[in-house]
């Protein structure tokens, strides 16, 4: 199954989306890694008298978004709401809702229904 990937800010719960970024999870991880460098380009893009734009094969990178979010915890997120290293199995919570397992891919033992964002945020 093809899956689009985006960059998500865990601190603000906001997502920078891309167009048709199928199978681009590794690219999103690289973008997250270099978020500060992308943010540093924001003045060039916004103050330029010429049309300067940062683009990829899967869409435009909004440097202003990265300027706001670069100091935060950024992670790749799928179009289905799963984080890159998150187990993709759906589990039923004690409250009856269904969520993805909050543990990392390949974990031992039972699946955990706690939301990954909360687990990642709590871990620092």
pLDDT at 1 over 80: no
- Choice between 46 and 1, residue whose per-residue pLDDT is larger: 46
Note whether 56 and 8 are within 8 A (CB): no
pLDDT at 63: 93
44-89 pLDDT, tens per residue?
888 776 667 888 999 999 999 999 999 999 999 999 887 877 776 7
11-49 pLDDT, tens per residue?
999 999 999 898 888 999 999 999 999 999 998 888 776
- In a 10 Å sphere around its CB, with 0-12 CB exposed, 13-18 middle and 19+ buried, how is residue 77 labelled? buried
pLDDT at 96 over 80: no
pLDDT at 113: 67
Tell me how far apart the alpha carbons of residues 29 and 23 are, in angstroms, rounded to a whole number. Answer: 12
**Model confidence, pTM:** 0.71
């Amino acid at each position: 199954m093809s899956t689009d990937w985006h960059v998500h800010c865990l601190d603000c719960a906001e997502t920078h989306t891309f167009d048709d970024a199928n199978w681009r999870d590794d690219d999103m991880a690289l973008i997250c890694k270099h978020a500060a460098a992308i943010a540093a380009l924001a003045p060039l893009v916004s103050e330029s008298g010429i049309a300067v734009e940062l683009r990829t094969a899967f869409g435009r990178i909004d440097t202003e978004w990265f300027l706001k979010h670069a100091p935060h915890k950024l992670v790749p997120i799928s179009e289905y709401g799963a984080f890159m290293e998150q187990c993709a199995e759906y589990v039923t919570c004690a409250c009856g809702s269904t969520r993805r397992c909050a543990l990392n891919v390949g974990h031992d033992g039972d699946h955990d229904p706690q939301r990954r964002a909360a687990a990642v945020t709590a871990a620092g």
